[in-house]
């Protein structure tokens, strides 16, 4: 589990490898990740945009930008949370993701919230002991 709090918004990520949807012989590895976004502040916020940086084990980067998450722009009152699950495919057996949410408060001010970097590991990745 990976957790980071930025500007009174706590983001927790739990990734897991989807063996049944992956096809290692075709270089297709798939993960699901569940994210919990919690408003620890005193004002209401709305998640308006997302940004993802997805890097495979060969260093290839894919950037994804879009509105909301899973087709929604959740509104979080103080103390409320929103949980969703999404997925990501890679052509390598491991990688890493990190990102950012852009929130908006009731006055229209934009608030940037970091999504912690999280590891995408499959049983097919090479383990390196340092």
Between vectors from CA 38 to CA 44 and to CA 3, what angle results, nearest 5°?
145
Please list, in sequence order, all residues whose beta carbon lies within 8 angstroms of the beta carbon of residue 78, skipping any fewer than 6 positions away.
Answer: 39, 40, 41, 42, 43, 44
Bridge partner list, 6: 9
| Residues 116, 6: Cα–Cα separation, whole Å | 10
Could you give the CA distance from residue 130 to residue 128 in angstroms, rounded to a whole number? 6
Query: pLDDT tens digit string along 37-87?
Result: 999 999 999 999 999 999 999 999 999 999 999 999 999 999 999 999 999
Q: Could you tell me the domains of the chain?
A: 2-121 (2.60.40.1470)
Mean pLDDT of the chain: 95
């Amino acid at each position: 589990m990976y957790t980071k709090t930025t500007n009174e918004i706590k983001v927790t990520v739990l990734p897991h490898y989807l063996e049944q949807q992956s096809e290692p012989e075709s270089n297709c590895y798939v993960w699901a990740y569940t994210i919990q976004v919690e408003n620890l502040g005193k004002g209401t916020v709305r998640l308006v945009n997302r940004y993802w940086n997805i890097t495979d084990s060969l260093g290839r980067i894919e950037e994804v930008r879009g509105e909301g998450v899973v087709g929604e722009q959740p509104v979080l009152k103080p103390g409320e949370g929103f949980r969703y699950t999404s997925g990501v495919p890679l052509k390598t057996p491991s990688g890493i993701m990190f990102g950012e949410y852009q929130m908006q408060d009731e006055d229209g001010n934009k608030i940037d919230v970091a999504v912690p970097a999280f590891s995408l590991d499959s049983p097919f990745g090479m383990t390196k002991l340092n």
